[in-house]
Amino acid sequence: MENRGSFGSKLGIILASAGSAVGLGNVWRFPTEVGMNGGAAFILIYIACVMLMGIPLMTAEFIVGRHTHKNPVDAYRTLAPKTGWVFQGIMGVFAAWFILSYYSVVAGWTLKYLVSAVADQVTTMTDSAAYFTEFTQNAWMPVVAMAAVLLMSHWVIVRGVQGGIEKYSKMMMPMLLLIIAVLVVCSFAMPGSDTGLRFLLKPDFTKINGDVLLSAMGQAFFSLSVGMGCLCTYASYFTDDAKLMKTAGSVALIDTSVAVMSGFIIFPAVFSVADVAPDAGPGLVFITLPTVFQTAFAHAPLIGWLFAVMFYTLLLLAALTSMMSLHEPVTSFLIERFAMKRRTATSVVTFSCIALGTLCAMSFGPLADVRWLFGMTFFDFFDFVSAKIIMPLGGFLLSIFVGWYLPKDLVVKEITNNHALHFPRWLFVGFFFLIRWVAPMAIVAIFINELVS
């Protein structure tokens, strides 16, 4: 079996873990949720949820991975031998593989729009809805785009931990943050952007209700990539002196900052165009924004072109960093359980995901009439099973495992690096309260709300 490898620096640990958390959900789903749930008030609740639920859960997953230095399946088998807890590890690996298969379809859309933006088609299209529909319903173009982004992920993963994941995370994450900073400045300069800023910065607490609270909890949970083996696998490559709680806080800070800054990019631009609503929903990125770019920069088409190119580059980078983290748990499992070479294991994952991704990509075109359970297409079925069932269940079981099953002394030793770090007692009391009670109850509420909605 090949040597596992490990991250070579603390910066590499933080940027790779942040890359796992930062994805399309930050740039696409978060602004959509903000727009549909009242703006600033939703953001404040979201930040509270990240602190009270996201950071403890992320720390818990780090504990499982770093303590064992194994893939998710073997990690749970080691910590809970001859018990059913190994199912949690199996589910994590399966979730990563399952999600990667359909997530790559949407990532392929971002690649297509980046190519279109470079070719100056995004800011000149006459009917953005028809453009998006024509592309997604095409028999082969979405498949090619999906396969292309999977091969990009393959290129990184096949190079290992330090030479692949860490190296490219150190390249892509700073580039992503730089693009966000430039786009925020450009967006602030748009006429009417002050209205969008007020929407994001002035809370209207009358908007808060049970649905908004559950949406914020759900976004915090899904955004941090908890419960699907990614962070557990990355933590298995952590050095023994890595500070788990500090790393979790740093990752949460970067993840939340990217999400909020994405709002600062999108909503000043959206409000600068009078006939575009902030609650345009999931079509915001692929249907609404091309119209916004075209209208807002009508008198400066070169700036509009540059804005569109940078925005879809941002989307693609966010997608790729997440895809890398979804790819690695399955690859690591195949290497360690079946003694595969990394190149072989990576190829198995990549091409199996291309096969499944093809079914998902064609769900909007040739296979649109092929329905699974409850009348769902392949894409909808993959999305439903992973987001509505596997991820909440994985997060719930993670909180129970670390909060109740693992010996308390083991958890404390991992957080303190074998007592080398000193924390006040209230921090441990708070951590165990959150991981034992708050996180499980919140996840159950999210699970029920997601199923109902």
pLDDT digits (tens, 9 = 90+) for 139-160: 999 999 999 999 999 999 999 9
State the average pLDDT over residues 309-330: 95
Tokens of 138: 């095409």
Q: How many CB atoms lie within 10 A of CB 429?
A: 10
Q: What is the DSSP letter of 444?
A: H
What are the CA-CA distances from residue 360 to residues 70, 149, 364, 380, 382 (Å)?
A: 31, 15, 8, 8, 8
Distance of CA 91 to the CA centre of its chain: 18
Which pair of tokens denotes residue 51? 């602190």
User: What gap in Å lies between CA 91 and CA 391, rounded to an integer?
Assistant: 9
> What count of residues does the chain have?
453
Amino acid at 439: A
For the stretch 377-427, pLDDT in tens is 999 999 888 888 888 999 999 999 999 999 999 999 999 999 999 999 999
Confidence band for 277, pLDDT divided at 50, 70 and 90: low
Using alpha carbons, list the distances in angstroms from residue 376 to 134, 383, 444: 21, 10, 24
Angstrom distance (rounded) from CA 57 to CA 53: 6
**What b/e sequence results for 235-273 when a residue is b if at least 16 CB atoms lie within 10 Å of its CB, and e otherwise?**
bbbbeeebbbbebbbbbbebbbebbbbbbbbbbbbbbbb
CA distances from 448 to 190, 219, 393, 444 (A): 41, 14, 11, 6
CB 282 within 8 A of CB 132: no
Q: Does 251 have pLDDT greater than 60?
A: yes
Predicted local distance difference test score (pLDDT) of residue 294:
79
Report the amino acid identity of residue 14: I
Exposure string for 116-142, b = 16+ CB within 10 A, e = fewer: bbeeeebbebeebeebbeebbebeebb
* CA dist list (Å): 66 to 7, 72, 81, 236, 323: 12, 11, 17, 4, 21
Which pair of tokens denotes residue 213? 């609270």
Structure token pair of residue 260: 């909020």
Q: What would the mean pLDDT of 277-283 be, rounded to a whole number? A: 55
DSSP 287: T
Give me the architecture of the 10-452 domain, per CATH: Orthogonal Bundle (1.10)
**Would you say residue 233 has pLDDT above 90?**
yes
Give the span between the Cα atoms of 129 and 287, in whole angstroms.
5
Label residue 61 exposed, middle or buried (CB < 10 Å: 0-12, 13-18, 19+): buried
Average of per-residue pLDDT values in the chain:
90
- CA pair distance 24, 262, nearest whole angstrom: 11
Structure token digits, residue 362: 């064609």
Return the minimum-mean-pLDDT range out of 108-117, 295-304, 309-318: 295-304
Query: Which pLDDT tens digit goes with each residue over 56-110?
Result: 999 999 999 999 999 999 999 999 999 999 999 999 999 999 999 999 999 999 9
Domain spans in the chain, listed from the N-terminal domain onward = 10-452
Q: Report residue 431: phi and psi, to 5°.
A: -60, -50
Query: Rounded CA gap, 279 and 358, in Å?
Result: 30
pTM: 0.93
